[in-house]
Copies of this chain bind each other. A is one copy, B any other.
Amino acid sequence: MRVNLEARAAAAENRKAQTRERLLDAAVAVIGEKGPDAASIEDFVAAANVSRGTFYNYFPTTEDLLRAVRRKLIDALTIVLDAHLPSSIPAAERLATRLHSHYALVSSDPAWGWVVMRLEATRLGRTNAMEVSLDRMYQEGVATGVFRDLDPVAVRSVIFGTSRMVQRDILMGLAPPGHQERVVAILLTTFGLPPQEAERISAESARRAAEIQAKSRQRAA
């Protein structure tokens, strides 16, 4: 009897998680297409194939859903990177790989890209996990003498601003072939690397990012 109850509880737990997952996936798809402002709860529940009422069992407010979506998406990137970007790699290469991984994910999963971009523009405050991580990489580069010692806040504006613009270009189909490589190379020269080396590292990192993505996909399958 007890076993039965426990099993049932576990099954219920499982179903719950599944429904939640379905709602999140649906939300990503819907937001990617219509944007977070135009998307209605009706759209979410229709795409997730659950009832209106069920939605509220999982997300008391729309904002809760958006936060959860954002978390899910950021995790998607972080997992890819954390698993495959050892800290033994030098700072410049790591920073470049980090950026290329982002662009690669945007290219291969535009829905992901749109949602991340659109959620940034919303009332939800920003997550700074990414800022912190990039800041650290830059400081490492300064410490090892490959990066110039620039003001961290200014650097952040340059990296994030440029990256968001590149992301937008990719999503809108405005990025010519090789755009990402060139932009990352420019950023590396900005940080102090000689042009030639910057280009080499950018190209190399693009390749590494592609490999990481491929591996992480194998794993998922």
* A→B interface (CB under 8 Å): 37-38, 118, 121, 148, 150-151, 153-155, 157-158, 160-166, 169, 175-176, 179, 182-183, 186-187, 189-190, 195
Contacts and interface: CB of A to CB of B under 8 A. Distances in A.
A150 to B, nearest CB: 6
A161 B186 CA distance: 13
Most central of A163, A165, A166 by chain B CB within 10 Å: A165
A171 B7 CA distance: 50
Complex A-B, nearest 4 residue pairs according to Cβ-Cβ distance, in ascending order:
A161-B165, A161-B161, A161-B162, A190-B190
A158 B187 contact: yes
A157 B165 contact: yes
Contact of A189 (B157, B164, B179, B190): B190
B153 A179 contact: yes
Nearest to A176: B153
A118 B37 CA distance: 12
28 contacts: A37-B38, A121-B121, A150-B182, A150-B186, A153-B175, A153-B176, A153-B179, A153-B182, A154-B182, A155-B186, A157-B162, A157-B166, A157-B169, A157-B179, A157-B183, A158-B165, A158-B183, A158-B186, A160-B165, A161-B162, A161-B163, A161-B164, A161-B165, A162-B162, A164-B164, A186-B190, A187-B190, A190-B190
Given A158-B187, A161-B163, A189-B190, 15 more contacts: A118-B121, A148-B195, A151-B182, A153-B169, A153-B175, A154-B179, A154-B182, A154-B183, A155-B186, A157-B162, A157-B183, A161-B164, A162-B162, A186-B190, A187-B190
Chain A interface main SS type? helix
Contact of A186 (B118, B154, B182): B154
A154 B212 CA distance: 25
Contacts of A164: 161, 164-165
Contact of A162 (B38, B153, B158, B189): B158
A57 to B, nearest CB: 12
Contacts of A187: 158, 190
